[in-house]
Amino acid sequence: MRSFLLVAALWSGALPAADLRVAVLVQDAAQVSLRGDLVPSSTPGADLVAFTDELAHEICRRIRSRCAFSYVTFGEILPGVEDGSFDLGFGNFLRAPKREKRVAFGEPIFRSASRLVASPATARAFAGKLGQAVTLDNLRGARVAAMEGSKQQEFLDAIAAERELSVVATATTAGAFDALRNGRVDFALLPIRTGYALISHDKSRRFGFVGPAVADHGLGDTVHIILPRQKEALRRSVNQAIAEIRADGTGHRIMRRHFPVILD
């Protein structure tokens, strides 16, 4: 009978209560190891950390699992899921063939795109050089920051030689924003929600979005939770939880609690 119940649970996608190790993305090195609800609201990207943390806790509650949370940088999440250090990775990952060879992806949780961020003065200066408003498609001869290991960095590296771009990779998105503030770079290329979270909490009010949001070139699509490829029962349970929070509006409420403007 016990074997029958275990098989039934696996086929239904339900998991018995278990300890899961969960990685949650932080936006600034100072937030590492801080619980999401304890991240000071004044710190860079705090809105996105709080959103990701609340979503992670809701998923754990829905799959009836006891979760141990680690608050880590982006570069630690995928390798940690791949080697089994983490069972779930909440890093707002876009799907990509290289990543799918290493980890499994849950169902989409929201959509994302990327945008350039800069000061209005910088945007005007480059527009003068280009003879037109700055967009990602026409940007040339600039220093651009992006988070290391991100699709934004991958895209910039691919076009750097042709466009005469100097790409600065940073450990966190807040690091990319810091590079803007201290003049190390002219622009940062960031996921749109990350950019909003950083811009809205910047006391200097010196920076804003430049050009339209971009979703092609691998810079936007659906965003996912990642997990080990061999944990199919866990993936089914997570997908069921995602479907539930989408159907009952919980996901929308969590998003609007932290992002009052529409960013899709």
Superfamily of domain 114-214: Periplasmic binding protein-like II (3.40.190.10)
Q: The pTM is what? A: 0.78
Quote the CA–CA distance of 1 and 73 in Å, as a whole number. Answer: 44
Quote the CA–CA distance of 134 and 37 in Å, as a whole number. Answer: 37
Quote the CA–CA distance of 94 and 111 in Å, as a whole number. Answer: 9
Each residue's pLDDT tens digit, 34-71:
555 555 556 656 778 888 999 999 999 999 999 999 99
Write down the pLDDT at residue 198. 87
Q: What residue type is 151 in one-letter code?
A: K
In degrees and rounded to multiples of 5, residue 224 shows phi and psi of: -135, 155
Per-10-residue mean pLDDT for the chain, 264 residues long? 39 56 82 55 70 94 94 93 97 92 96 95 97 97 96 97 98 92 97 88 88 94 96 97 96 84 56
What residue spans in the chain does CATH classification 3.40.190.10 cover? Answer: 2-111+222-258, 114-214
With H, G, I as helix, E, B as strand and everything else as coil, classify residue 218.
coil
Q: Which fold has domain 2-111+222-258?
A: D-Maltodextrin-Binding Protein; domain 2 (3.40.190)
Write down the pLDDT at residue 133. 97
